[in-house]
Amino acid sequence: AQSVTQLGSHVSVSEGALVLLRCNYSSSVPPYLFWYVQYPNQGLQLLLKYTSAATLVKGINGFEAEFKKSETSFHLTKPSAHMSDAAEYFCAVSDRDDKIIFGKGTRLHILP
């Protein structure tokens, strides 16, 4: 069975600082991996996805994530945080049957 673990339900970083949101996955087959962002009272927006091509995936809004098979990780990073990055971020995993399993989410707070 697949699962996703996001470390830290809340993360606070200063504006301009590095953003690092951690995600570890469990999958019996090579997975598809995703990061989604959810702004208050809104649906999900896809930030980026990994589908077995390049291990470093670049997404929208300056975010990127690196797939590390040896660590079963897919951490999300952004070099410099903006106030507008404050939101809930979900890591997700899917095998080829297209069902997406979401992590519990990490709320990112940006400090001025």
Partner 1 sequence: GAVVSQHPSWVICKSGTSVKIECRSLDFQATTMFWYRQFPKQSLMLMATSNEGSKATYEQGVEKDKFLINHASLTLSTLTVTSAHPEDSSFYICSASNLAGGEDTQYFGPGTRLTVL
Contact residues toward partner 1 (CB under 8 A) are: 32, 36, 41-46, 49, 51, 90, 98-105
Kindly state the smallest distance separating residue 89's Cβ from partner 1, in Å.
11
By beta-carbon proximity to partner 1, the closer residue of 2 and 17 is 2
Kindly state the smallest distance separating residue 54's Cβ from partner 1, in Å.
17
By beta-carbon proximity to partner 1, the closer residue of 17 and 105 is 105
By beta-carbon proximity to partner 1, the closer residue of 7 and 44 is 44
By beta-carbon proximity to partner 1, the closer residue of 18 and 109 is 109
DSSP state of 102: E
**Maximum C-alpha span of the chain:** 42
- Report the alpha-carbon distance of residue 46 to residue 87 in Å, rounded: 13
Cβ atoms of 101 and 90 within 8 Å: the answer is no
- Report the alpha-carbon distance of residue 83 to residue 30 in Å, rounded: 35
- Residue appearing with tokens 């896809």: 46
